[in-house]
Amino acid sequence: MPVSSLRVIVLEDHSFQRAIAVSMLQQLGCTDVFQAADGAEALAVLNEVGPVDIALCDLRMDGMDGLEFLQAVGHSGLVGSVIISSSLSADLRRTVRQIISLLDLELLGDIGKPLHYETLERLLKKHCSVPRTGAPPEPLETVPDEAQVRQALAAHELCAFFQPKFILETGETTGVEVLARWRHGSGKVLSPACFLPVLERHGLLDDLLCQQLHQGLALQQQLRTQGYELNFAFNLHAAQLSSGTLASQVRGLLGEYGARGASLTFELTEAGMLQAPETSLECLFRLRMMGCRLSIDDFGTGFSSLQRLFQLPFNEIKLDAGFVQALAQEPRCRAVVSSTLALGETLGMTVVVEGIETDEQRQHLLNLGCTQGQGYWCAKPMSSGDLLRWLEGQQQRSQRA
């Protein structure tokens, strides 16, 4: 993507600094640059001009401040990436970065003030260099109701997308995470943020998981015939662990598709792990007995106790992407990554780092001892057809090397 095609909005209440930021962006080649003095004005601009790729955002503003604005656009699709430009203290900006990671927004950079041309240029190039594989999710104009989601399930419009996991040193693909997307009748591909809450509220998560397991295992079977042995990871909600049929359902599907338990991973968020009742232990035990791997997803965003971590039979930790964003600038982030790696090694658990977007981040993680990761540096979530073509391209590049 060329810089000239980027759509950027500048949120800054100081008119002179706002003018400087707009001028810098235009000098760097951006032709669609919008501006606002606070969050409310920015929302009005976005309602008029539509979604933007990047929001260059101050945090402390009169009226609606930057954090309120980010909370308003989170999960909406109106803003793709965020650059924080604020004079607030490092600990406060760190908190905002954490909130951004929970709002389904991509943090492109935290550059403080004053704004520097070279730094801004680097971040724009970083955004443009990220591979854009497959169709990006788009927001629904209205929140779907139960009937619409049930109809989408019945019509198999809620389909599986796949994001590769890879070896940091070589880029070799080791597996994929299976993610839900809605191929809406309008032709758009919709984010799970618009339909997963409805599924959860009306007890339909098991129906979605069943469809994803069939789609994932069928693709995995096809890949095996082509020489690819990839682990497929599926997301579980804590409530699904109390089902007395989940383990037997997985066992039956493994037999149907001729797959081994070791070829599947089930990911449960750290918060979900805390909510899981003691009766869930039997389900986790039976999945592990079949050879399936169990992963703690978004590790570091919840407040799990070490005792709970010790009690549950997980064998993988997925470190949340928020710790990667400021890895080069934040000693605390490096400390968290190093501590998690040490914890994983002590407990005999693999550590997978999420949210790797740049080669610089990959190199930092390698230096800290990380071996496995996931993120846009390798590939975005993609359809089954795109994944097959992507793997073939990887194989051809490897043979030429």
**CB atoms closer than 10 angstroms to residue 34:** 17
* Contact present, 78 and 52 (Cβ < 8 Å): yes
The per-residue pLDDT for range 137-181, each reduced to its tens digit, is: 445 445 688 999 999 999 999 999 999 999 999 999 999 999 999
Contact 356, 348 (CB under 8 A): no
- Dump strand ranges (E) for 249-358: 264-269, 293-299, 316-319, 350-353
Q: Do domains 3-129 and 146-400 have the same CATH topology?
A: no
- The pLDDT value recorded for residue 372 is 97
Q: Determine the pLDDT at residue 181.
A: 93
Can you tell me the mean pLDDT for 370-388?
94
Please give the pLDDT value at position 194. Answer: 83
**Per-residue DSSP letter, 61:** -
Indicate if 157 belongs to the active site: no
Residue ranges per structural domain of the chain: 3-129, 146-400
Catalytic residue, candidates 354, 357, 360, 392: 354
- Enter the tokens of residue 136: 């990006």
Burial annotation 93-113 (CB, 10 A radius, 16+ → b, else e): bbebbbebbebbbbbbbbbbe
Q: Residue 274: which pLDDT band, with cuts at 50, 70 and 90?
A: low
Nearest to 233 by CA among 314, 165, 302, 181: 165
For residue 233, the surrounding DSSP H or E stretch is: strand 231-236
Return the CATH fold of 3-129. Answer: Rossmann fold (3.40.50)
Residue pLDDT, tens place only, 223-270: 999 999 999 999 998 888 877 789 999 999 999 999 999 999 999 876
106 vs 185, residue with greater confidence: 106
- What average pLDDT score do residues 349-358 get? 93
CATH superfamily of 146-400: EAL domain (3.20.20.450)
Contact 293, 316 (CB under 8 A): yes
CB 236 within 8 A of CB 267: yes
What's the mean per-residue pLDDT of the chain? 87
Query: What pLDDT shows up at residue 300?
Result: 64
* Total-model pTM: 0.69
- Inter-residue contact 253 to 217 (CB < 8 Å): yes
> Does the structure show a pLDDT above 50 at 133?
no
Among 134, 130, 142, 140, residue whose Cα is nearest residue 106: 130
Distances (CA, A) of 244 to 198, 241, 271, 308: 23, 8, 22, 22
pLDDT of 114 over the 90 cut: no
Q: Write the pLDDT tens digit of every residue in 290-311.
A: 999 999 887 766 555 566 667 7
> In one letter, which amino acid is 201?
R
pLDDT in tens, 65-76: 999 999 999 878
Query: SS3 sequence, 154-191?
Result: HCCCEEEEEEEEEECCCCCEEEEEEEEEEECCCCCEEC
Query: Which residues, 6 or more positions from 232, have their beta carbon under 8 angstroms from its beta carbon?
Result: 162, 175, 176, 178, 216, 217, 219, 220, 263, 264, 265
State the Rg of the chain over Cα.
Answer: 22
Four-CA torsion 136, 137, 142, 147, nearest 10 degrees = 140
Contact call for residues 300 and 340 (beta carbons, < 8 A): yes
pLDDT tier at 278, thresholds 50, 70, 90 = low
Phi and psi based region of residue 197 (left: phi greater than 0; alpha: psi -120 to 50; beta: remaining): alpha
Q: What is the pLDDT of residue 321?
A: 85
Which has more pLDDT, 176 or 2?
Answer: 176
Amino acid at 36: A
Q: What is the pLDDT of residue 281?
A: 79
Q: Are 60 and 85 in contact (CB under 8 A)?
A: no
As a whole-number percent, the residues of the chain with pLDDT over 90 amount to 58
Task: Please report the sign of the dihedral spanned by the C-alpha atoms of residue 174, residue 179, residue 182, residue 188.
Answer: negative
Angle at 106 between CA 183 and CA 359, to 5 degrees: 105
| Paired residues of 351 in beta bridges | 317
